[in-house]
A and B are shown apart, each in its own frame.
Chain A
Amino acid sequence: MVEIKNLSKAFDGMVVLDDVSLKVNQGEKVVIFGRSGTGKSVLLKCIVRLLEPDNGEVLIDEVNVLNLSIKKLNEIRKNIGFLFQGSALYDSMSVRENLDFPLVRNFNFSFEEREKKIKTVLKDVSLMDAINKMPSELSGGMKKRIGLARTIITDPGLILYDEPTTGLDPITTKEISELIVDLQKDLNSTSIIVTHDLICAKIIADYAVVLTDGKFKYQGSIKELTSSKDPFLRNFFGTEIIEA
């Protein structure tokens, strides 16, 4: 379970997150919508302390991660998966090495166990053939899939997705979104997904919030948000354009 309490973050006096709070229960999938530059990725980075918030609390399984030493924080991070917007695959390593990297350093798996895990996640993302390829040899969609495989290979209890389908065509977006849902079922993990993508959100989300002006101003199911008469939401989801 993740609970964000009164979190604030500003950069050079510009407030990005203004006293935001959010609770995500175990196994729940919450989507965070918002316009570009509203602080959605900043929020995800504050949860894992890639950025230090100015105020507030981030509770992961009732432990406030903001007060932890790096050593204790790393113990919690081992149970967190983070899919970056650009996949963030290590350029100098092959797909196999990318997947092996967190396993060999953080867990005491034998070589055979690691190999089995690598092959299992590659089968899950249907990219078994890419095992010995370098990231530069992969397409955008393949990189996302490998990034997803690396995110789930440690069986994390909490997964944070930063724009998992940005830059992909609608068919690949649908495939990746369905893949996320399938993997989520297997792991029973809690997920927070930052996206602009309505297709992705409709497939994945149990619940959604909209971040605007540093606050969660709207929340509800995707259906509730997209059918809202609120001018901002109609403009954001393009309802006006669709109806016109």
Chain B
Amino acid sequence: METSRTALESSIVYKRLVEFFMMIAGLSVFAWDFFKNVFIPPYEFAEIKKHMDELGVKTLPIVSITGFIIGLVLAMQSYPVLVRFGAASFLPSTVALSVVRELGPVITALIFAGRVSSGIGAELGSMRVTEQIDAMEVSAINPFRFLVVTRILACTFILPLLTIYVIILAIIGGYLAMLTLQAMNFQLYIHSVVHAIEFTDLIPGIAKTVIFGFIVGLVGSYKGYYTTNGTVGVGKSSTSSVVVSSLLILLFDMVLVKLTILLWS
């Protein structure tokens, strides 16, 4: 009995599970600290704006290409199926609904996680190992408020904007694909898109990106803020920020989709 228990505790799966739940507990405490600090002045508006600029600009090229290609490929893949059922005229609404409800928010969030969460993890991690965070603390400045709260807020604000931008590009991409498949007037295409999208599609799709943005900022900041073991630790923080934030985005997406269906139906 004792031997099997020891074997279980020393197994890699057991260790990984313990690490995972410890991290979830750590992230929860970190999120609680964020809400405790976010309303306390001084408010670092300039710093939030600076991060929004940096994060937005940093991610813009990759999300532009991705958004455009999503729409293009989705239209090209859906067209033959829709033609088979005599429903080719539904192509604009198919592209629009897929992109607005699911693909736009999730893919933008995953790209954002890969680009931004790792950057935050590496930046804060470097600041930790080079004692810059300690220097801030010893100068009587709250490093959590200055470094963490500002980054989480910037991620939370910028991701919905990027998602809207990606959705628009995907719809344009869909139109270009459509042009190669069958002639269609742009005004008619947009008319079909606008008619297909309802309030109940748009709001939950964009609202969940607020949560995804929060997750990206939170995980990146958490991993970076508690970096140990020098430059090796910085690398680990950067990598695990992407893995954990991507995983949490997908998990939360599943929960939020179910919640949306329950609420709106």
Contacts and interface: CB of A to CB of B under 8 A. Distances in A.
A56 interface: no
A162 to B, nearest CB: 9
A106 B140 contact: yes
Chain A binding site: helix, strand, loop or mixed by DSSP?
loop
A48 B131 contact: no
Contact of A85 (B42, B123, B131): B131
B126 interface: yes
B141 A102 contact: yes
A200 to B, nearest CB: 20
Contacts, number: 50
A103 B117 CA distance: 31
Nearest to A82: B138
Contact of B141 (A50, A84, A88, A101): A101
A50 B127 contact: no
A110 B265 CA distance: 58
A74 interface: yes
A80 interface: yes
B172 to A, nearest CB: 36
Interface in A188-209: none
A50 B140 contact: no
A84 B134 contact: yes
B131 A86 contact: yes
B130 A106 contact: no
Contacts of A82: 135, 138-139
Task: With a 10 A CB-CB cut-off, give which of B123, B127, B139 has the most chain A CB atoms.
Answer: B139
B132 interface: yes
Kindly name the residue among B126, B132, B136 whose own CB sees the greatest number of chain A CB atoms within 10 A.
B132
A101 B126 contact: no
Contacts of A5: none
A50 B134 contact: yes
B137 A50 contact: yes
Contact of B135 (A75, A88, A154): A88
A32 B134 CA distance: 21
Contacts of A237: none
**Interface class of chain B by DSSP:** helix
A33 to B, nearest CB: 21
Nearest to A160: B138
A144 B141 CA distance: 21
Interface string A10-32: 00000000000000000000000
Interface in B124-169: 126-127, 130-132, 134-141
B140 A74 contact: yes
Contacts of A84: 131, 134-135
Contacts of B130: 86, 88, 91
Contacts of A88: 130-132, 134-135
A73 to B, nearest CB: 8
Contact of A90 (B132, B137, B138, B140): B132
A74 B134 CA distance: 13
Contacts of B131: 84-86, 88
B86 to A, nearest CB: 58
A215 interface: no
Contacts of A92: 123
A106 B134 contact: no
A151 to B, nearest CB: 9
B140 A77 contact: yes
Given A88-B132, A90-B132, A91-B132, A80 B127 contact: no
B116 to A, nearest CB: 16
Contacts of B123: 92
A106 B139 contact: yes
B138 A77 contact: yes
A50 B132 contact: no
Contacts of A106: 139-141
B217 to A, nearest CB: 17
Interface string A84-115: 11101111100000000110011000000000
Interface of A: 45, 48, 50, 74-75, 77-78, 80, 82, 84-86, 88-92, 101-102, 105-106, 154
Given A50-B138, A89-B132, A105-B140, 6 more contacts: A78-B140, A88-B134, A90-B127, A90-B135, A101-B141, A106-B140
Interface of B: 42, 123, 126-127, 130-132, 134-141
17 contacts: A45-B134, A50-B134, A78-B139, A80-B138, A82-B135, A84-B134, A88-B130, A89-B132, A90-B135, A90-B136, A91-B126, A91-B127, A101-B139, A102-B139, A105-B140, A105-B141, A106-B139
Q: Which 10 A-B pairs have the closest CB atoms?
A: A74-B140, A88-B135, A77-B140, A88-B131, A102-B139, A82-B138, A84-B131, A78-B140, A48-B138, A88-B132
